[in-house]
Amino acid sequence: MRHFPFSYQMIRSAVYNLAEKTLEIEFKDGSSKRLRDITPQIYAHLMNRSLCDKLRSKLSQN
C-alpha cells in the first residue's frame, strides 16, 4: 500500500470546501441554492432555536 503525503483531515476539508462551493440543493418548489449560501442560514436558525429553547426552559422554571 502506498503512503500519500495527505492526511485524512486535509482531504476531508478539501472535499468539503469543494462541495460547499459547488453543490446545489434543489428545493420542492423547484428553486435551488448552493450549499455555501444555505449553510449560514441553517446555522443561524439552529442557534436561534437553541436560544429559544434555553429561554423557554428558564421561564418554565420560575
pLDDT above 70: residue 62: no
Mean pLDDT of 13-22: 80
pLDDT at 47: 75
User: What single string gives the DSSP state of each residue in 1-62?
Assistant: -PPPSS-HHHHHHHHHHHHHHH-EEE-TTS-EEEHHHHHHHHHHHHHHHHHHHHHHHHHHH-
pLDDT in tens, 31-54: 887 777 777 777 777 777 777 788
In DSSP terms, 35 is beta-bridged to: none
Q: Is 12 exposed, middle or buried (0-12, 13-18, 19+ CB in 10 A)?
A: exposed
Which one has a higher pLDDT value, 51 or 10?
Answer: 10
pLDDT at 30: 83
